[in-house]
């Protein structure tokens, strides 16, 4: 992508109001626009980031045999009345009447609609376990707070499992838990796994994946040890039971939640299957990840005075190319990198803005590495690559293309 072609809707709002760091950087770098309280538009760079996150999640869900579906965000009231949540969500759910006078809502979650999709269609135990998931929009009439961290519309991955017994539910729960660990590791976010229901008997029924962050609205004690993801809501625990490291108390952002629902929804939704002696209720589990919330969570954890520091897996571009002058050899190499590494991966800083501005914008957007084409290239024929953390490497062009193309 050429910088002169890239649409970047930067915002003055970032400077003009008190913001959490993630909101300030998301607006200042033009990742999102903020047309009103609690709603956000994704720019081309923002949408690249959101898509990269979704793709990582989708791949891991498919790996464990979950099947992708898409249910409407627009819902009728009846199934929510059936489960008893129409009243429970009151105030937080967007509800209204359609032109025929029927009560409708914008879905905050999809347990009921998913149970409705499966009901009467999965009758035999042979059709289970079944795991369905979707990546889509959810709506919650919450008090907007901390920018993207708590919005009225947000993107979730939500998965639902349907099984005949607790043992099968536990198996899927553990697979899902392992997939979440792979997902959050690949996303480069720091997180802990917190038992959300420590009072439950006979094994864990619900765990949250929480990202340590000062601006988070949750609290936990967690283990800062390498590759240890122990977290707890029991603040009397001082030492990690898994590795012995001292625990740290912190605010945190909920990134994901895995939940053994049992028959909480299958009972009111009449979600049953046939047995030799009659009918049994289907056992459900639900497994969410806040896709759009991962964006501010990552920014909160990974930024410096110059801007965002995206992990490679999420970054909108993996390389910036900054030609320092108009020398034909430099321009030719810049174009070659753009073509061979690919316009999906490369942000080529063409155009006549000052070099300093190009560097600053690349760092603000959070591109992990810059190829700087100047005298080093003209004199030694080497490509200078400066990483977002300040590290630097020099490549012969052939080695460079082997590494990046
Ligand atoms: Zn530990």
Greatest alpha-carbon pair distance for the chain in Å reads 84
319-404 to CATH, choices 3.20.20.80, 3.90.550.10, 3.40.430.10, 3.40.50.800: 3.40.50.800
Is the omega angle on the peptide bond into residue 129 within 30 degrees of 0, that is, cis?
A: yes
Q: How far is CA 59 from CA 190, 203, 257, 386, in A?
A: 20, 28, 18, 31
Q: What's the 245 CA to ligand 1 centre distance in angstroms?
A: 5
How far apart (Å, rounded) are the C-alpha atoms in residues 126 and 183?
Answer: 30
- Render pLDDT for 92-104 as a digit per residue (tens, 0 to 9): 999 999 999 999 9
CB 285 within 8 A of CB 205: no
CATH code 3.40.50.12780 for 13-208+252-304: no
The ranges of the chain with pLDDT < 70 are 12-18, 198-204
DSSP assignment, residue 396?
Answer: -
How many residues are given for the chain? 405
- How far apart are alpha carbons 217 and 253 in whole angstroms? 6
Tokens 């034909």 belong to 328
What pLDDT shows up at residue 197? 76
Closest to 378 measured CA to CA, from 341, 320, 324: 324
- For ligand 1, a single-atom ion, the residues with CB < 5 A are 223, 225, 228, 230, 240, 242-243, 245
CA 73 from centre of chain: 19
Q: How far does residue 243's CA lie from ligand 1's centre (Å)?
A: 4
CA of residue 193 to ligand 1 center, whole Å? 11
Per the structure block, which two tokens stand in for 262? 């049992």
Ligand 1 centre to CA of 170 (Å) is: 24
Closest to 192 measured CA to CA, from 118, 132, 251, 272 = 251
217 Cα to the center of ligand 1, angstroms? 23
Strand partners, 280: 273
Q: What is the pLDDT of residues 294-339, one digit of tens each?
A: 999 999 999 999 999 999 999 999 999 999 999 999 999 999 999 9
Six-digit token pair at 341?
């590494």
- Bridge partners, 105 (sequence order): 75, 95
Can you read off the two tokens belonging to residue 365? 């957007």
**What's the pLDDT score for residue 18?**
63
70 alpha carbon – ligand 1 mean position (Å): 38
State the Cα–Cα distance between residues 378 and 384, nearest whole angstrom. Answer: 11
Q: Is residue 345 helix, strand or coil?
A: coil
How far does the centroid of ligand 1 lie from the alpha carbon of residue 270, in Å?
43
CA distance 118 to 79: 13
Q: How far is the CA of 232 from the centre of ligand 1 (A)?
A: 11
Distance 227 CA to ligand 1 centre (A): 8
Ligand 1 centroid vs 159 CA: distance in angstroms? 28
Only one residue has tokens 């990134």, namely 255
* 3-state SS, residue 179: helix
Assess contact for 308 and 302: CB atoms under 8 A.
yes
Contact 32, 136 (CB under 8 A): no
- What are the residue boundaries of the structural domains of the chain, listed by start? 13-208+252-304, 319-404
Give the helix, strand, coil percentages of the chain, each rounded to 5. 30, 30, 40
């Amino acid at each position: 992508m050429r910088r002169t072609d890239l649409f970047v809707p930067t915002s003055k709002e970032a400077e003009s109001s008190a913001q959490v760091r993630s909101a300030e950087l998301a607006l200042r770098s033009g990742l999102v626009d903020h047309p009103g309280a609690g709603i956000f538009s994704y720019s081309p760079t923002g949408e690249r980031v959101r898509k990269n996150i979704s793709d990582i999640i989708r791949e891991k869900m498919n790996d464990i045999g979950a099947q992708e579906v898409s249910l409407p965000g627009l819902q009728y009231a009846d199934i929510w009345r059936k489960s008893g949540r129409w009243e429970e969500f009151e105030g937080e759910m967007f509800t209204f009447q359609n032109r025929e006078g029927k009560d409708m809502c914008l879905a905050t979650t999809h347990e009921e609609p998913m149970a409705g999709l499966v009901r009467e269609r999965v009758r035999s135990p042979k059709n289970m376990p079944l795991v369905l998931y979707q990546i889509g929009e959810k709506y919650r009439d919450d008090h907007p707070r901390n920018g993207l961290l708590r919005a009225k519309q947000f993107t979730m991955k939500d998965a639902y499992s349907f099984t005949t017994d607790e043992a099968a539910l536990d198996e899927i729960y553990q697979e899902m838990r392992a997939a979440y660990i792979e997902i959050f590791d690949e996303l480069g976010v720091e997180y802990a796994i917190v038992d959300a229901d420590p009072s439950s008997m006979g094994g864990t029924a619900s765990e949250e994946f929480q990202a340590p962050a000062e601006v988070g609205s949750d609290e936990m004690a967690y283990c800062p040890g390498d590759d240890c993801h122990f977290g707890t809501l029991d603040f009397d625990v001082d030492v990690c039971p898994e590795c012995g490291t001292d625990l740290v108390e912190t605010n945190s952002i909920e990134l994901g939640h895995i939940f053994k629902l049992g028959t909480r929804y299958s009972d009111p939704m009449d979600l049953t299957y046939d047995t030799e002696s009659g009918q049994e209720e289907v056992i459900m589990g639900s497994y969410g990840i806040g896709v759009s919330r991962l964006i501010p969570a990552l920014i909160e954890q990974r930024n410096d005075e110059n801007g965002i520091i995206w992990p490679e897996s999420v970054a909108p571009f993996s390389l910036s190319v900054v030609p320092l002058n108009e020398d034909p050899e430099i321009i030719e190499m810049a174009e070659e990198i753009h073509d061979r590494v690919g316009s999906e991966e490369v942000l080529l800083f063409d155009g006549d803005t000052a070099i300093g501005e190009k560097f600053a914008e690349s760092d603000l957007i959070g591109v992990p590495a810059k190829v700087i084409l100047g005298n080093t290239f003209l004199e030694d024929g080497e490509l200078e690559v400066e990483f977002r953390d300040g590290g630097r490497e020099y490549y012969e062009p052939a080695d460079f293309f082997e590494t990046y193309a």
